[in-house]
Copies of this chain bind each other. A is one copy, B any other.
Amino acid sequence: MAAYSPRLSRLIEALRRLPGVGPKSAQRMAFHLLDRDRDGAQYLRDTLAEALAGIGRCPACRMFCEDQHCAYCSESRAATGQVCAVEGPADLLAIENGTGYRGRYFVLMGRLSPLDGVGPEQLGLDLLAQRLADGLTRELIVATNPSVEGEATAYYLAEMARAHGVKVTRIAHGVPMGGELEFVDSGTLAHAFTGRTAV
């Protein structure tokens, strides 16, 4: 059985470790990099090297961070008394860019999922407990995704916050802005109905 040369095979194998990349895509990527975009391959190699060397996790909020000092854990943010728990870095940026929220964050890097071996330890909830107990935190805003696992995580976080005497809130779920009622799924509509507010 003929096969690609050893280095090419290894490159294809390495590309397959990227999420969502199967054998055919990995092949296509390798050929593209070697045949048409050697600059891109070099750039990827260099950025991987500098990312591996320079990107760590904030020891307090678990966000990716390059310095000792995390931009989202500043004193002015701590002064708001609010901590927002999100599932991932992309959620943090979405909230930062889409809302006026300027408190601190806690990035879970996942959600509770016992079947996948993700428990409180993997989400660094001991760090969150420290943050809840630091005497500065008055409100925990739970902004996990409204999926089954996200809801279970939210419930767990709420219990934790209550145990620390910290107020807990959950971001509202309902009909999205610009959405049309007739096309909204029934679960969302039921949520929106029971969560109605006085106007």
Interface residues of A (CB under 8 A from B): 1-8, 10-11, 13-15, 17-20, 25, 27-35, 37-38, 40-52, 54-55, 64-66, 88-90, 93, 96-97, 109
Contact = CB atoms under 8 A, between A and B. Distances in A.
Given A29-B19, A90-B27, A51 B41 contact: yes
Contact of A89 (B4, B17, B41, B43): B4
Contact of A48 (B3, B28, B44, B93): B44
A88 B31 contact: yes
Given A20-B25, A27-B90, A44-B44, 12 more contacts: A5-B65, A11-B47, A11-B48, A14-B44, A15-B18, A17-B37, A19-B29, A30-B51, A33-B48, A34-B55, A35-B109, A41-B48
A10 B42 CA distance: 13
A2 to B, nearest CB: 4
18 contacts: A4-B64, A5-B64, A5-B65, A8-B51, A10-B50, A11-B48, A11-B51, A13-B47, A14-B43, A14-B44, A17-B44, A18-B40, A31-B88, A31-B89, A38-B52, A41-B52, A45-B48, A45-B49
Contacts of A20: 25, 28-29
A40 B25 contact: no
A123 B43 CA distance: 26
